[in-house]
Amino acid sequence: MKFLVHTYGCQMNVRDSEAVEALMLAAGHEKAANEDEAEVVIVNSCTVRQKAEEKAVGKAGNLIAAKKITGLMGCAVKRMGADVFKRLPKLDFAVAPRAFGLIPRILADGRFPRLELGDDVAPESLAAHVEGGWQAFVTVLLGCDNRCSYCIVPDVRGHEYSRPAKEVIAEVAALARRGVKEVCLLGQSVLRYGIRNAAWEAERSSAVSTREAFPRLLRALAEIDGIERIRFTSAHPSGCTDELIQVYQDCPKVCRHLHLPVQSGSDRILKEMGRRYTRADYLAAVRRLRAFDPEFAVTTDVIVGYPGETADDFEATRSLMEEAGFDNAFVFKYSPRPGTRAAQLPDDVPTAEKERRDQVLLADQESRGQRRNDALVGTVREVLAEGPSKRNPARWSGRDGGNRIVVWDRADGARAPAPGERVHLRITAAHPQILIGEPT
Ligand code: 5AD
Ligand code: SF4
């Protein structure tokens, strides 16, 4: 059958969708060129905020109306459980985030409706990749046990589970043989890799300490020929250990960028959220990274309008963002999620005030991004080319190790860079989110 997978949400979902595509292709299905042509459409849903869930459910509703065989997978399915069929009575199948490996079999059976909410994941399905491309996501840590008060992820993605190191290493080696140059390791709190279960079970006798499990994985992956860059996301300040910084020192393939969600700059709110760090702890982690390398890129997520967030709490977030000097920031308006601790609190910051705080932080980040990027003018960045720039297809676009977008004009008569090709660019101008360079 001709199929399409439509994805909402974070990188975890992008990765799961890719695995589903690979499994569907392996089962003999064919990717449709567009939605009209598709017989089956699978919508991979997010539920981190109410709006995200509504988008995915709305999309599935439209596909059902268009008479496609429609499946819903991902986080919203687990949150709704059997109620998903109340929202979408004609949905054909629904599978929870860890159950996507069942999709080809569900289609082969053809017995609809079908609901799979299990948390068992088949190792083969985790390792399935679509061929081609030079970048790949690799899931190393599933689920999350942190239980931050606002977050639905632990309920929908299950308990934390670290994949065995030998599985991850074999997967990355296989990707390298297929031409992948850059991998991004994924986990909700990826620096906790190996803490909950023995990820290095083959070497249990040599006692890999929990602080060493993730750094050791990075070192092992950095030895794989063909892999040029290793990224990972998301991080927690408690994971910014000396062992991790030593990896940055020793392994140039490991990119000097951390996505380090802070959520708030107010100690009171951080405590209520259950984030397990203070403002001072967080800033100390950022300082350690920047002391090691002043160009170390740090990006973040922030929530505005958490229950009870006062004007002072908000100002604390503003000042933390300035002190941390973030290279980029994603700001989210608080959205109560059913079943979370925070959902029991009154959602008392008015929508208009959430919007205002959002705009203030975005404006701050614009000028901060400009300042951070201005400081890079004149430096030479090592960039892996991605392709024509989206905004201006006459230019090329790529990213440096800090995940900064760099665009450049093709020199007269020069050939187009191959995707993933390494180029050195001298930065000639800067915008808040983009650097302009020229080949050196
Ligand atoms: N409301 C708003 N934003 C949220 N996030 C997680 N849960 C919520 C919520 N209930 C944000 C956090 C997280 C990002 C992926 O989404 O900032 O880091
Ligand atoms: Fe990703 Fe969270 Fe959305 Fe799930 S709910 S797709 S884990 S952002």
174 and 261 within one domain:
yes
For residue 198, name the pLDDT band (cuts at 50, 70, 90): confident
Q: Mean pLDDT across the stretch 2-18? A: 98
275 and 177 within one domain:
yes
Q: Mean pLDDT across the stretch 358-384? A: 98
Q: How far is the CA of 12 from the centre of ligand 2 (A)?
A: 7
Of 237, 254, 284, 303, residue with least CA distance to 403: 254
Q: How far is the CA of 131 from the centre of ligand 1 (A)?
A: 32
For residue 185, name the pLDDT band (cuts at 50, 70, 90): very high
112 and 80 within one domain:
yes
258 and 154 within one domain:
yes
Query: What number does the ligand 1 atom closest to the CA of 333 have?
Result: 2
Composition of the chain by helix, strand, coil, percent to 5: 40, 20, 40
Amino acid (1-letter code) at residue 393: P
Query: What number does the ligand 2 atom closest to the CA of 12 have?
Result: 1
Confidence (pLDDT) at 416: 86
Structural contact between residues 176 and 129, judged by C-beta atoms closer than 8 angstroms: no
Confidence (pLDDT) at 410: 81
For residue 412, name the pLDDT band (cuts at 50, 70, 90): confident
CATH, residue 21: 3.40.50.12160
167 and 37 within one domain:
no
Query: What number does the ligand 1 atom closest to the CA of 261 have?
Result: 18
72 and 143 within one domain:
no
80 and 129 within one domain:
no
- In whole angstroms, give the CA distance from residue 8 to residue 38: 18
Nearest ligand, CA of residue 186? 2
Where among 352, 373, 394 does a domain terminate? 373
81 and 97 within one domain:
yes
Q: Mean pLDDT across the stretch 49-66? A: 97
Nearest ligand, CA of residue 11? 2
| C-alpha torsion 165→167→170→174, nearest 10 | -130
Amino acid (1-letter code) at residue 202: A
Domain ranges, residue 86: 2-116
Over residues 276-330, the pLDDT tens digits come to 999 999 999 999 999 999 999 999 999 999 999 999 999 999 999 999 999 999 9
Confidence (pLDDT) at 206: 55
Q: What count of residues does the chain have? A: 440
CATH, residue 407: 2.40.50.140
Q: What tokens were used for 322?
A: 């300035």
Instruction: Indicate if the pLDDT at residue 195 is higher than 70.
Output: yes
Where among 74, 90, 116 does a domain terminate? 116
157 and 288 within one domain:
yes
Amino acid (1-letter code) at residue 164: P
290 and 367 within one domain:
yes
How many domains are contained in the chain?
3
Cis before 388? omega within 30 = no
Q: 5, 6, 10, 145: which to mutate for ligand 2, most atoms within 8 A of CB?
A: 10
166 and 103 within one domain:
no
Q: Mean pLDDT across the stretch 53-80? A: 98
Torsion sign across C-alpha atoms 36, 42, 45, 50: positive
Q: How far is the CA of 76 from the centre of ligand 1 (A)?
A: 14
Instruction: Indicate if the pLDDT at residue 205 is higher than 70.
Output: no
Instruction: Indicate if the pLDDT at residue 123 is higher than 70.
Output: yes
Over residues 31-43, the pLDDT tens digits come to 999 999 999 999 9
Where among 354, 373, 392 does a domain terminate? 373
CA angle 369, 302, 244 (to 5 degrees): 80
Structural contact between residues 258 and 250, judged by C-beta atoms closer than 8 angstroms: no
322 and 207 within one domain:
yes
